[in-house]
Structure 1
Amino acid sequence: MKYYLIVGEASGDLHASHLMQSLCRYDADAQFRFFGGDLMTAVGGTRVRHYRELAYMGFVPVLLHLPTIFRNMAMCKRDIVEWQPDVVILVDYPGFNLNIAQYLHSHTRIPVFYYISPKIWAWKEWRIRNIKRDVSELFSILPFEVPFFEVRHHYPIHYVGNPTADEVRNFRASYTESRQDFGTRHQLVDRPIIALLAGSRRQEIKDNLPMMIAATERLLERRGLTRQYQMVLAGAPSIDDAYYAPFLEGHDVAMVRNETYPLLSHAVSALVTSGTATLETALFGVPQVVCYKTPVPRLIRFAFNHIIHVRFISLVNLIADSEVVPELLADRFTLEGIAAHLERILPGGADRAPMLEGYAEVQRRLGDEVAPDNAARIMIDKLSQR
C-alpha cells in the first residue's frame, strides 16, 4: 500500500520513522512519500519537504513566515492528490495537519489516520469537531486521552502504547556503560550528577537554563555540597556550543551532546523543562523538578486556573493524574522554590522515595505495548477492510 506521512518537527520524525519500519514489517509492499526528516529518509521512500521548512514556533515567527507556510500547505495538498495514496498519516503538528485533513475530507476520498493525537485536552478543545469530521482513525500514545475522547466526546480512538516508553525500555535493556566510563569519556569529575535538561529550543534555554544553574549553585553552596555533586547539561542537537557559552561562562557546568539517555542513566536528580523530557526522566527513575519560565506569570497562573482545561503541564503528572513531580511554572518559577524542591529529591531527601513510587504508577499506566507495531497492525487492518 501507499502511505503518505506528514510531520512537522524532530520528535515527529523519530516516531514516524519507527512507524514506517513497523508498516514495512507487516506490509511487504509498503511505499512511502512524506513531509519529514532525516530519520524517515533513512527508512526509505520519497521526502517531499524537510520538516525544518515547516517548523515555525510562536506567534511572531509563524506570522512572519505565513506565505511560506501557505505555499507548503498548497503544495502538500497537490502532491497528495497527484500521488493518490491509500492513506495519509498525520503525526502530531495539528496547526498544519488538521488543515490538510479538512482539505482531504472535502475534496478526496483518501482516508486520514492521525498518529499521536493532537493535545486538544489542554487547549483548543473545539478542534474535536474537526477531528470527528475529518479524521478516519485516531491513534493515541497517552492513556488518559482515551476517556477524554471516548467518554467526554464520544469519539472512539486507539491507545497503542507509548513510543517514548518503548525507546527508553529498549535503551535500558542494551546500555551497559558504567558511570565511571561515561564520566571518563566526557571528561567529567567523579561525583554524582545533577542533570540539567533545559529544552531543545533557544527561547526555552534562554528562559530556563540560567535559573536552573543559579538555583543548583545556591543549594549546593548553602548546604556545603559543592564538591559532592556536579551539574551536567544535556546539549540539544540543534543548538550549537556558541549559543550555550554565555549561559555557562563562570559556572562549573559540564555539557554532553546527543546523549540524553546515557546522561539520565547516571544522574541522581534532574531539573527538567516541561515536555517529553519529563516523561523520559521519570522512565529512567531519576527524581526531577519541572521548571518552566513563562511571560506575565500571574496572568499565566490565572489562565491555568480558569481557562486551560488541565491540572498539570508535565506528562508525568498528567499520566498519573496526581502531582508526582513538582511543577514550578509561572509565579512558582523562583530561585528559592527550585532550590528547595531540588534539595528534597537529592539522595536522602524527603520527596525522593514518594516520587519514585509515583514513577512506578506512571509505568504501570503506560503499559508495555510496542506503540508503532500496534499502530501499524491496526492501520493495515483498517485499510484492508476498506
Structure 2
Amino acid sequence: MKYYIIAGEASGDLHGSNLMKALLKQDPQADIRFWGGDLMQSVGGTLVKHYRELAFMGFAEVIQNLGTILRNISTCKKDIEAFNPDAIIFIDYPGFNMRIASWAKKKGIPTHYYISPQIWAWKENRIKSIKRDVDHMYVILPFEKDFYEKKHGFPVEFVGHPLIDAVAEYRATADPLFRQKHQLDERPIIALLPGSRKQEITKLLSQMLTVVPHFGNFQFVIAGAPSQDFEFYKQFLTNTNVRFISNETYGLLNVAYGALVTSGTATLETALFKVPQVVLYKANPISYQIAKRIITLKFISLVNLIMDKEVVTELIQEDCNSKRIRAEFTKIIQSQGREKMLQNYDILIDKLGGEGASELTARLINKNL
C-alpha cells in the first residue's frame, strides 16, 4: 500500500512516527511519503517537506506568511498526484490539511484523519467540510467521540491517546545515566518547556527564566526543540544556573521534579510523566484578542480540558508575569500542591485509555481501505 501522511508540527511528527511504525509492522512493504519531521524520517519513507518550514503561529503570523502557505499547498497537491497514494492520512494541522482533504475528496483519494482538528474549541462550522471531505476520523480525546457522534451525527473511532504509547515506549528504554550524560548535579531538576516555534520561545522563555534567581536549590534545564538550532537559544543563556539540552524533552521530563510549560501538547506529556507543572501562554496581542472572541473554552491546556476542571494553573497573557509564575511555581514544589496534582494525573491517565493507539489506528486505516 502507498500512504501519504501530512503532519505540520512537532507533536504531529511524534504521532506520525509511531503511526508509521505501526503501518510498517502490518505492511512491511508499505511505501510512505510524508510531510513531517526528524522522528518520521528516522522511521523510513520519503520526507517531502519538514514541519519547521510550515509552522506559523497565530492569526497575524499566518496572514504575514500567506504566500508561503499557498505555495506549500500547491506543492503538496502536485506531489500527491504524482505519488498516487492508496490513502492520505492527515494528522491535526487543520488549516492546511482541510484544504488538501477537500481537493483529495474531489480526486477520489481516500481520506483518513488521525487526531481531529480541535473544532470543539473553535471553528465548529468546520464540521461541514469534515463530513464532506473526510472518509474516516480517528479521535484521541475521550470527549471527542460524543462531540462528533451525538452532537453532529458523524461517526468516528476513539483510539485512545498516542502519547500513552510514546511515553511508555520511552520509559521502557530510558537512559538511566541521563543526569551523568548531561553533567547535571543532584539538585531537583526543573524542566523549562518554552515551545517549539520561535515566536512562543521568544515570548515565554524569558518569563520562565525570571524564577531562576529565587530558587537556587533547584537546577533549571531548558528543553531545546528539535526544530530550532542552538544558536537561537544562545541569547537566553545568560544565567550560569540554567542548562540547555536539545531534542531530549522526554529524557528531561523523566528526571524532572517540576516544570514550566508552554500551552500545547507538552502540557499533556508533562502530566503523563507525572511532573507537576505550571502552564504559560502569551501570544501576539492581536492574535490573542481575536482568539479570545472566538474561542469559548474554559481552559487552554489539554490536562484541564480532558479533566474538565483546573488541575494545572494556567497563566495567560497579562497573568503570565514573573510574580504570578513564581507564586504558582512555589505551590507545585511544595508537598500539598504536588500531591493533589499527582492524584489528578492518575485520574487523567485512566480517562485517556490504555496503550495501543497507533497500532489500533493503523489496523483501522487498513480495514477501511
Q: Is TM-score (shorter-chain normalized) higher than 0.5?
A: yes
Match of 1:326 in 2: 313
Q: Distance in 2 between the 1:16 and 1:195 partners?
A: 25
Q: Distance in 2 between the 1:292 and 1:235 partners?
A: 18
Flag the 1:332–1:61 CA change in 2: closer, same or farther, 3 A: closer
Q: Distance in 2 between the 1:339 and 1:98 partners?
A: 41
Tell me which of 185, 209, 213 is aligned to 1:213.
209
Flag the 1:301–1:269 CA change in 2: closer, same or farther, 3 A: farther
TM-score normalised by structure 2 residue count: 0.92
Match of 2:327 in 1: 340
Q: Distance in 2 between the 1:150 and 1:138 partners?
A: 11
Match of 1:273 in 2: 262
Match of 2:24 in 1: 24
- The answer as to whether partners of 2:278 and 2:329 remain within 8 angstroms in 1 is yes
Mean CA deviation greater in 51-60 or 308-317: 51-60
Q: Distance in 1 between the 2:357 and 2:295 partners?
A: 28
Larger radius of gyration: 1
Mean CA deviation greater in 25-34 or 129-138: 25-34
Q: Superposition pairs for residues 54-203 of structure 1, below 5 Å? A: 54-106=54-106, 108-175=107-174, 177=176, 181-203=177-199
Tell me which of 348, 351, 371 is aligned to 2:357.
371
Flag the 1:289–1:50 CA change in 2: closer, same or farther, 3 A: closer
Flag the 1:67–1:330 CA change in 2: closer, same or farther, 3 A: closer
Q: Distance in 1 between the 2:120 and 2:342 partners?
A: 27
Q: Distance in 1 between the 2:175 and 2:71 partners?
A: 47
- The answer as to whether partners of 2:3 and 2:87 remain within 8 angstroms in 1 is yes
Q: Aligned AA for 1:32?
A: I
- The answer as to whether partners of 1:301 and 1:330 remain within 8 angstroms in 2 is no
Match of 2:296 in 1: 309
Flag the 1:213–1:75 CA change in 2: closer, same or farther, 3 A: closer
Q: Distance in 2 between the 1:72 and 1:336 partners?
A: 42
Is 1:236 the counterpart of 2:204? The answer is no
Flag the 1:361–1:62 CA change in 2: closer, same or farther, 3 A: same
Q: Secondary structure at the match of 1:204?
A: helix
Flag the 1:240–1:103 CA change in 2: closer, same or farther, 3 A: closer
Match of 1:380 in 2: 366
Of all paired residues, the percent bearing the same amino acid is: 51
Deviations 1:189-245 (A, max 9, x none): 321112211112222122111221213434x3xxxxx2x222222122233333323
Q: Secondary structure at the match of 2:4?
A: strand
Flag the 1:246–1:88 CA change in 2: closer, same or farther, 3 A: closer
Deviations 1:346-372 (A, max 9, x none): 142x31111111100110011113111
- The answer as to whether partners of 2:10 and 2:196 remain within 8 angstroms in 1 is no
TM-score normalised by structure 1 residue count: 0.88
- The answer as to whether partners of 1:121 and 1:309 remain within 8 angstroms in 2 is no
Deviations 1:108-143 (A, max 9, x none): 222110111111111211111110110000111222
Flag the 1:198–1:83 CA change in 2: closer, same or farther, 3 A: closer
Gaps of 5+ in 2: none
Flag the 1:83–1:262 CA change in 2: closer, same or farther, 3 A: closer
Report the alpha carbon displacement of residue 312 of structure 1 after superposing the two structures with TM: 0.8
- The answer as to whether partners of 1:295 and 1:330 remain within 8 angstroms in 2 is no
Flag the 1:91–1:249 CA change in 2: closer, same or farther, 3 A: same
